[in-house]
């Protein structure tokens, strides 16, 4: 079972930018990569650090605390010290809104 959660307007996440949103108590990071909005866990899988304080580097996201890069397709950690991937969540865009498709219950999160 999945639940659909409307988290932002598409115009709030311009191409090449990211935006943190909250679902319940969890942070989820929206990233607009080449016009496609993707969603990942918003906290680094290494230690507790908000990933919207990092920076987009091509098709990767760099955590600003210890500079691990994450692949924005798979969520994989590309450099130490992070080892676990970022969880990626399905996104649909409907009527100019960004909608997440999340499992019922706790949101999966690594780290
Ligand atoms: S907290 Fe992100 S790499 Fe350490």
The 10s digit of each residue's pLDDT in 61-103 is: 999 999 999 999 999 999 999 999 999 999 999 999 999 999 9
Average pLDDT (11-22) is 97
Per-residue confidence (pLDDT) for residue 72, from 0 to 100: 98
**Class of the domain covering 2-103:** mainly beta
16 CB within 6 A, ligand 1: no
- Is the CB of 82 inside a 6 Å radius of any atom of ligand 1? yes
The residue contributing the CA closest to ligand 1 atom 1 is 47
Given this model, what pLDDT does residue 65 score?
Answer: 98
Q: Of 103, 46, 88, 48, whose CA–CA distance to 69 is shortest?
A: 46
Distance separating alpha carbons of residues 46 and 36, to the nearest angstrom: 26
Report whether residue 110 contacts ligand 1, using a CB cutoff of 6 Å: no
Rounded to two decimals, what is the model's pTM? Answer: 0.96
């Amino acid at each position: 079972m999945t639940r659909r959660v409307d988290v932002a307007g598409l115009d709030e996440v311009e191409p090449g930018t990211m935006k943190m949103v909250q679902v319940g108590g969890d942070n989820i990071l929206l990233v607009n990569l080449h016009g496609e909005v993707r969603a990942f866990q918003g906290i680094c899988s290494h230690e507790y650090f908000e990933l919207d304080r990092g920076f987009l580097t091509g098709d990767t996201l760099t955590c600003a605390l210890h500079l691990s890069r994450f692949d924005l397709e798979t969520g994989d950690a590309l450099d130490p010290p992070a080892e676990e991937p970022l969880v990626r969540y399905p996104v649909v865009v409907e009527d100019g809104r960004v909608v997440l498709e999340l499992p019922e219950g706790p949101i999966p999160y690594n780290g």
